[in-house]
A = this chain, B = another copy of it.
């Protein structure tokens, strides 16, 4: 299935604020149109048709043939782009293949990846007698409602569309699954000198041929500076992974998202950020060993925060990789090891006692157990280890990484290193034994 992306307009409202052609405006590290291409690629689409107009050269120069993003891009130019977006969409007829179904998308709309995936799946299952239109019926969540195209929806079909409808119950998302019906409707509208896409869709809606697919997550039509800021906000929020430790969720993400916002605009890769996080852990270890627990604690929490940033940047810029996951997992284990070793050393230098040696060693050995059990479980069963499903009441132990590092931070800043080591030694092993006992019944 090919995707047709409309990128013909001048984006005048946006241009008052920014210099770049609107589809090329950099949103947290990626131009709007590149984000849409990579998002659709993640939905399994790898052929794109980009309809250009005002910024033909800029777009062709920037995106090229698509090879750098492992997709194929074809360009169609619409010299009459000023007439309306219906004329731009109709340009696609030149290379339309009989019975073809395609995705039609605006270069400057931004959707949640989950919504796009669901829409593409629905598009593939859609029958040839209707077109599919992404719509939002959560009116209170729609950004800039006055500017949006409204829809009167009934039984999952659009009856009428228009910007100035008085009564409506949904909003047009500007994302379509089209076929020959759509091109025929565009031809009819243009022959009546009606050059907007909405006019063509209205012909189909009148015949009951516009099926609606409802969006579940926030999206935005990036039109001006305010909507650009809103897009940034929505995008950052979408980076939070569904499974996240308590400390991560309530503390770390508050810091990591703003950091991600800043770092997304740099060329730093996720693996480089993983490595920086590791260096910060080393600094924490040195601070503990030199008996500067306060700074050890602070640096530990910083490494915990940075541990979130690498993944956020990877998801943001479509840079996720198996190797990145492995590199992060192993470097995190080393980071934890050095921090706890630093704590134990600091304490040992004060007391020179065998007890310290033993407690330090037990704590150290506990650190990787959480990950070991999770990964072995996944490797064996092919299922993801879900802590709140398998850990029972022990899910409240701060024995996952975010919890452990948070404990160390507290232990450092309140100068309670020995007690922290004892607590770590206990909780890591209690969690490991509890998991073995729970899983015995469950797998």
A334: chain B residues within 8 A (beta carbon): 365
A371: chain B residues within 8 A (beta carbon): 372, 376
Q: Is A62 part of the binding interface, using a Cβ–Cβ cutoff of 8 Å?
A: no
Contact A369 B330 (CB under 8 A): yes
Binary contact track A136-157/B, C-beta < 8 Å → 1, others 0: 0000000000000000000000
A344: chain B residues within 8 A (beta carbon): 357, 361
A357: chain B residues within 8 A (beta carbon): 344-345, 348, 357, 360
A243: chain B residues within 8 A (beta carbon): none
Of A308-316, A319-327, A396-404, the one contacting chain B is A319-327
A432: chain B residues within 8 A (beta carbon): 330
For the complex formed, measure the closest distance between the CB of A425 and the CB atoms of chain B, giving whole angstroms: 12
Contact B326 A380 (CB under 8 A): yes
Main secondary structure of the interface of A (DSSP, over half): helix
Contact B325 A345 (CB under 8 A): no
For the complex formed, measure the closest distance between the CB of A367 and the CB atoms of chain B, giving whole angstroms: 8
For the complex formed, measure the closest distance between the CB of A421 and the CB atoms of chain B, giving whole angstroms: 12
Contact B372 A379 (CB under 8 A): no
Contact A326 B360 (CB under 8 A): no
8 contacts between A and B (CB under 8 A): A329-B376, A333-B372, A341-B361, A352-B352, A357-B357, A364-B365, A368-B368, A382-B382
Contact A373 B443 (CB under 8 A): no
Whether A326 touches B377, Cβ cut-off 8 Å, given contacts A354-B349, A357-B348, is: yes
Interface residue count for A (Cβ, 8 Å)? 44
Given contacts A330-B372, A330-B373, A375-B375, 5 further A-B contacts (CB under 8 A): A326-B377, A345-B354, A345-B358, A371-B376, A375-B378
For the complex formed, measure the closest distance between the CB of A429 and the CB atoms of chain B, giving whole angstroms: 9
* A439 to B329 CA separation, bound complex (whole angstroms): 14
Q: 10 nearest interchain CB pairs?
A: A378-B379, A375-B375, A322-B380, A337-B365, A375-B379, A368-B368, A322-B443, A375-B376, A379-B379, A329-B376
Question: Which residue of the partner chain, among B322, B349, B352, B373, contacts A326 with CB atoms under 8 Å?
Answer: B373
A379: chain B residues within 8 A (beta carbon): 374-375, 378-379
Contact B323 A443 (CB under 8 A): yes
Contact B323 A439 (CB under 8 A): yes
For the complex formed, measure the closest distance between the CB of A280 and the CB atoms of chain B, giving whole angstroms: 19
For the complex formed, measure the closest distance between the CB of A434 and the CB atoms of chain B, giving whole angstroms: 12
Binding site for B on A (CB under 8 A): 321-323, 325-327, 329-330, 333-334, 337, 341, 344-345, 348-349, 352, 354, 357-358, 360-361, 364-365, 367-369, 371-382, 432, 436, 439-440, 443
For the complex formed, measure the closest distance between the CB of A289 and the CB atoms of chain B, giving whole angstroms: 10
For the complex formed, measure the closest distance between the CB of A341 and the CB atoms of chain B, giving whole angstroms: 5
A348: chain B residues within 8 A (beta carbon): 354, 357
Interface centre among A358, A378, A379, A443 (most CB of B within 10 A): A379
A376: chain B residues within 8 A (beta carbon): 325-326, 329-330, 371, 375
Closest to A380 in B: B322
For the complex formed, measure the closest distance between the CB of A388 and the CB atoms of chain B, giving whole angstroms: 19
Interface centre among A321, A344, A345, A365 (most CB of B within 10 A): A365
Closest to A353 in B: B352
Closest to A441 in B: B323
* A327 to B273 CA separation, bound complex (whole angstroms): 35
Closest to A348 in B: B357
Closest to A331 in B: B436
Question: Which residue of the partner chain, among B321, B323, B361, B369, contacts A360 with CB atoms under 8 Å?
Answer: B361
Whether A329 touches B360, Cβ cut-off 8 Å, given contacts A380-B322, A440-B323, A443-B323, is: no
For the complex formed, measure the closest distance between the CB of A404 and the CB atoms of chain B, giving whole angstroms: 15
* A360 to B360 CA separation, bound complex (whole angstroms): 11
Closest to A366 in B: B337
* A348 to B361 CA separation, bound complex (whole angstroms): 13
A354: chain B residues within 8 A (beta carbon): 345, 348-349
A341: chain B residues within 8 A (beta carbon): 358, 361, 365
